[in-house]
Amino acid sequence: MRNLLPILTVLVALMLIWQLAVAPMNIRGALDIAERGGAEIVPEGSVDRRSVSVWRLMAQNSDHVSMGYDLDRPRLPTPTQVGQELWKTTGAMAIKGRAWSKRSLIYHSWITLQSTLWGFFLGTSLGIIGAVAIVYSRTAQLSLMPWAIISQTIPIVALAPMIIVVSSQVGVEGRGLPKAIISAYLCFFPVLVSMVKGLRAPEISQLDLLKTYDASGLQSFLKLRLPASLPFLFTSLKVGIAAALVGTIVGELPTGAISGLGARILIGDQFGTPLAIWSALFAAAILAGLLVTLLDLVQRVALRHTGAPT
Amino acid sequence: MSSVISAQDLNLTFQTNDGPVHALSDVQLEIGKGDFVSFIGPSGCGKTTFLRCVAALETPTSGTLTVNGMSPDEARRQRAYGYVFQHAGLYPWRTIGANIRLPLEIMGYAKSEMADRVQRVLKMVDLEGFEKKYPWQLSGGMQQRASIARALAFDADILLMDEPFGALDEIVRDHLNQQLLELWAKTGKTIAFVTHSIPEAVYLSTKIVVMSPRPGRITDIIESPLPKERPLDIRETPEFLSIANRVREGLRAGHSYD
């Protein structure tokens, strides 16, 4: 728990910056509403105000700055507003027994989580199998590695709709599988690269030692290469699961999906409800945090079991 | 006495970017059963390369080399030798006990047999009670002892040791040398031992092979007249000093100071 203090310090600093940024971000919206309500604003008319900097607007209309903290459709919501929205769409709904309603972020998070886990499973498996192939076969190294690198230079937003189209063309029902594929596409790479490094971590002398025992290839894989790669694997899994989540959300964005956190972000954008975007964003961040923390725990248990100094 | 390791006209040339390197040149050597043979010489003289040839980790370019009357590779497949590397090379994710069990697992020993053997060799190297510790919890000398125990765990009659004590301090090294001699007397194994240290070579060996570099070759083979019982203070006796002197002369003769 000794790293709690630095984390909290950063959190407080971020909240402070956020809170302070709300005033300049929302001043124009606040002044428009105040003017419609009959208040005296300098200069008059929202068109004229466009050429005036937010700082001058704030200085000249200091009475109305606080209004920016209480808008229905703020350009930048306050932390409190986001927190309230998040609670309204998760905890509050769960208490009322409506956790699985289409308006609940718990429901949408669950949709996203499912695809993320499938994508993570698929991507991790591909990454590990690819790494084993690369380490054991020079042909695989020469043919697979460049393509793995090239694959990551293609923007996933461009690729995602194609994957959706192709998978519906070949008769795949629903969006679960294509989303998982997009997510796996992002997640396999860190696993592949780390596992190649991990499987090659044993020194020559350690491999020689096994040779003096006349160990088979499978034995040296199971007893040396695999355990030696574990620390690399866990590090890459944590990167991989975050990438898988991003992949799923990206997969939900341009594809007309109606459920999932990505869909909530898109809908919030289209309907001009920043609060929905922000709460979906935070739900995604919390989800990622939970997944990474879970993997961290698994890593600790696994590495303690294999004798790492505590 | 029949030879356990026999080398005739052994040559090994490595092809490198800077041209061929003659690592072993016309090596003739017979090692009898129960011998303790030290290989001494400056870096690049081929002492480690010779050991690796015996272990079938390198293949000679020409000449014949037999181990237990077989080719080195056949001997390796019959698990004829235990190899101790310069670095203990214990697996950090395995306990000391599990590290010693590693060769036994690979060779398919029964579980109860493994446990017995681990206990036995731990006792031999004075590491009883450390079975459940991890390598990082042990000192360098203890780690090296564990790696010797690992090489002793299965029944190989030959022990190949490549500068096993090179990275340890003088006092620990003396202690381990004594232990190694006791172990050798107890087990009757044939030991081939690579070292940089003249006192270590003279103290341990029944036969000292002096080598010199470029090309790597044997310049002198000294049969030690010292008795099998060797307390540490044997190093002060005139016999010991005269052998040490002959080794030093041999090293000097083969050494070019350019």
| Shared domain check, B162 and B63 | yes
Sign, CA dihedral A176-A181-A183-A187, equals positive
Q: Do A307 and B102 touch (CB under 8 A)?
A: no
- Is pLDDT above 50 for A117? yes
Write out the two tokens for A133: 């192939």
Which residue blocks in A152-273 are alpha helix, DSSP H?
A: 156-169, 176-199, 204-212, 217-220, 226-252, 261-270
A42 has a pLDDT exceeding 80: no
Is the pLDDT reported for residue A257 higher than 90? no
Residue where a domain terminates, one of B121, B155, B189: B155
CA-wise closest residue to A118 among A173, A165, A185 = A185
Output the pLDDT for position A242: 93
Q: Which residues of B touch A227 (CB under 8 A)?
A: 91, 93
Instruction: Using CB atoms, pick whichever of A209, A212, A219 lies closest to residue B76.
Output: A212
- Which of A:189-228 have CB within 8 Å of B? 203, 205-206, 208-215, 219, 223-224, 227-228
Q: Taking a contact as any Cβ pair under 8 Å apart, which residues of chain A between 5 and 44 contact chain B? A: none
Chain A residues touching B102 at Cβ < 8 A: 213, 223
State whether B77 and A206 contact (CB < 8 Å).
no
- According to DSSP, the β-strands at B36-40 and B62-67 are unpaired
**In this complex, is the C-beta atom of B9 within 8 Å of any C-beta atom belonging to chain A?**
no
Residue B239 lies in a domain: no
Q: What is the model's pLDDT at position A116?
A: 93
- Using CA atoms, how far residue A196 sits from A50, A132, A144, A205, B135, in Å, is 55, 7, 12, 19, 25
CA pseudo-torsion sign B53, B254, B165, A207: negative
Over range A39-64, report the average pLDDT. 83
* Vertex A274: Cα angle to A268 and A280 (nearest 5): 65
Is the confidence at residue A102, as pLDDT, over 90? no
Asked if B55's CB is within 8 angstroms of A213's CB, the reply is: no
Closest-CA distance, A129 to chain B, in angstroms, reads 23
**Has residue B241 been placed in a domain?**
no
Chain A contact for B81, CB < 8 A? Answer: yes
Q: What is the mean pLDDT of chain A?
A: 87
Residue type, A271: F
What pLDDT sits at residue A171? 80
Instruction: Identify the CA nearest to A121 among candidates A231, A293, A241.
Output: A241
Decide if B115 touches A, using CB distance below 8 A: no
**What is the total count of domains within chain B?**
2
- Do residues B131 and B150 share a domain? yes
All structural domains of chain A, each given as residue ranges with its CATH number in brackets, are 4-76 (no CATH), 105-305 (1.10.3720.10)
- Is the per-residue pLDDT at A72 higher than 70? yes
Q: Is residue B245 part of a domain?
A: no
Q: Determine the residue type at A3.
A: N
Q: How many CB atoms lie within 10 A of CB B237?
A: 12
B185 and B256 in one domain? yes
Cβ–Cβ below 8 Å for B92 and A307: yes
Neighbours of B78 (CB within 10 A): 13
Q: Is residue B93 within 8 angstroms of chain A, CB to CB?
A: yes
Query: Which of A209, A299, A301, A310 should one mutate to test binding to chain B, selecting the residue with the greatest count of B CBs within 10 A?
Result: A209
Asked if the C-beta of B109 comes within 8 angstroms of chain A's C-beta atoms, the answer is no
Q: Which of residues 130-189 of A touch B (CB under 8 A)?
A: none
Q: Which residues of A touch B76 (CB under 8 A)?
A: 211-212, 214
Check whether residue B36 and residue B74 sit in a common domain.
yes
A–B interface: beta-carbon pairs under 8 A: 56
Contact check, Cβ <8 Å, A212/B102: no
Q: Is A169 exposed, middle or buried (0-12, 13-18, 19+ CB in 10 A)?
A: exposed
CA neighbor of B7 nearest in space, from B44, B58, B43, B42: B58
pLDDT at position B250: 86
Query: Do residues B161 and B64 share a domain?
Result: yes
Enclosing domain of residue B140 = 88-155
Give the whole-angstrom CA distance, residue A158 versus residue B27. 67
What band does A308 get if pLDDT is binned at 50, 70 and 90? Answer: low
Residues B100 and B191 in one domain: no
C-beta separation of B13 from B20 below 8 A: yes
Q: In chain B, what residues touch A206 (CB-CB under 8 Å)?
A: 89, 91
Q: What is the ipTM of this complex?
A: 0.86
Taking only the tens place, the pLDDT of each residue in B99-135 is: 999 999 999 999 999 999 999 999 888 888 999 999 9
Whether B140 is in a domain gets the answer yes
B53 and B23 in one domain?
yes
Distance CA B89, CA B243 (A): 33
Chain A contact set for B136 (CB, 8 A): 307, 309
B75 in the same domain as B161: yes
Distance from CA of A232 to the nearest CA of B (A): 14
Q: Are B143 and B162 found together in one domain?
A: no
What angle in degrees, to the nearest 10, is found between the helix axes of B96-107 and B140-152? 20
Question: Would an 8 Å CB–CB cutoff place B77 in contact with chain A?
Answer: yes
| A302 interface with B at CB cutoff 8 Å | no
Residue B97: predicted pLDDT: 93
Predicted local confidence at residue B258, as pLDDT: 47
Q: Do A203 and B82 touch (CB under 8 A)?
A: no
Nearest to B193 by CA among B5, B2, B16, B61: B5
Q: Does the structure show a pLDDT above 90 at A2?
A: no
Give domain status of residue B246, yes or no. Answer: no
Please tell me the distance in Å from A280's CA to the nearest CA on chain B.
42
Of all residues in chain B, the one with the smallest CA distance to A208 is: B57
**pLDDT tens, N- to C-terminus, chain B (258 residues):** 578 899 999 899 888 888 888 888 888 899 999 899 999 988 888 899 999 999 999 999 999 999 988 999 999 998 889 999 988 889 988 999 999 999 999 999 999 999 999 999 998 888 889 999 999 999 888 999 899 899 989 888 899 999 988 878 888 888 889 888 988 988 889 999 999 889 899 999 999 999 988 888 888 898 888 888 888 888 889 888 999 999 998 888 776 654
Query: Is the residue at B201 inside a domain?
Result: yes
Q: Is B241 on the interface with A (CB under 8 A)?
A: no
Whether B133 has its CB under 8 Å from any CB of chain A: the answer is no
Assigned domain for B101 exists: yes
Reported for B237-244, long-range contacts at CB under 8 A and 24+ positions apart, including other chains, are B240/B202, B240/B203, B243/B202, B243/B208, B244/B198, B244/B199, B244/B202
Inter-chain CB proximity B91 and A309 less than 8 Å: no
Q: Is residue B127 within 8 Å of residue B145, measured between CB atoms?
A: yes
Burial A176-207, CB ≥16 within 10 A → b, else e: bbbbbbbbbbbbbbbbbbbbbebbebbeeebe
State whether B112 and B97 are in the same domain. Answer: yes
What span, in angstroms and rounded, lies between the C-alpha atoms of B191 and B156? 11
Look at residue A271 and tell me whether its pLDDT is greater than 50: yes
Q: What band does A164 get if pLDDT is binned at 50, 70 and 90?
A: confident
Question: Do B51 and B139 belong to one domain?
Answer: no
pLDDT tens for A187-202 read 999 999 999 999 999 9
Q: Does the beta carbon of A96 lie under 8 angstroms from any beta carbon of chain B?
A: no
pLDDT at residue number B186? 87
* Cα torsion angle, A156, A160, A162, A166, sign: positive
Of A59-73, A111-125, A285-299, the one with minimum mean pLDDT is A59-73
Residue with tokens 């997969």: A251
Supply φ then ψ for residue A52, to 5 degrees.
Answer: -100, 140
Residue A1 has pLDDT above 70, yes or no: no
CB contact under 8 A, A214 and B79: yes
Do B184 and B144 lie in one domain? The reply is no
Write out chain A residues lying below 8 Å of B95, CB-based. Answer: 307
Q: State the average pLDDT over residues A117-133.
A: 95
Q: Cβ atoms within 10 A of the Cβ of A3, count? A: 7
Q: Is residue B238 part of a domain?
A: no
